[in-house]
Amino acid sequence: MNHPLHPLTAALADTRKRCFDPVVDSDTRLLILGSLPGEKSLAHSQYYAHPQNKFWLLMGEVLGVDLKVLPYAARLNALLAHGVGLWDVVAQAQRAGSLDSNIRERDDNDLVTLAASLPKLEVIAFNGGTAARLGIKVLGEHAQRYRIISLPSSSPAYTLAYAAKLEQWLALQAR
């Protein structure tokens, strides 16, 4: 006999969120890791889809390419052409809404295996404090193999002024 889910269990099941596949290739030298895509991103199946998220503006400044005007697939191709990959620390989790502070019962991605599969990877950058805190734990001792950069979140929920975010994001420029 099938038992209906308790309303609370059903509500929690509805809040389980999954990350997207990594956007990487064999030329990836910089991997940017977020925590877990927000509601707008999940609804559009696109990294950083919220119109107020500054990721595409920030990365456009870093790379010297106006990413914001490009269609999504072209944005991803532009990142890859510049040796930049994207993924998330959290593979899946319970989360009501988009705030990292609401992440519960998470399963983390295998960052160590992904990083090891990228022969040119030199830098791992974390988009936001939660991504950095969790990601450095997931990487463990393997974090020592890479230059680690913790960036202020590109999310509109993190209210640091754009100019201050940009100043720190410019650390991603190739040296």
Query: Residue 117 and residue 31: Cα distance in Å, rounded?
Result: 12
Pair of tokens at residue 11: 């509500």
Residue with token string 């595409």: 56
| Cβ within 8 Å of residue 133, ≥6 positions away | none
Residue with token string 């720190």: 168
Report H helices in the chain.
Answer: 7-14, 39-44, 55-63, 72-81, 111-116, 129-139, 162-169
Structural contact between residues 48 and 59, judged by C-beta atoms closer than 8 angstroms: no
Q: Which of 169, 122, 175 is nearest to 150 (CA)?
A: 169
Pair of tokens at residue 36: 């877990």
53 is annotated as an active-site residue? yes
User: Which of 2, 53, 77, 109 is an active site residue?
Assistant: 53
Longest dimension (CA), the chain: 63
Active site residues: 53
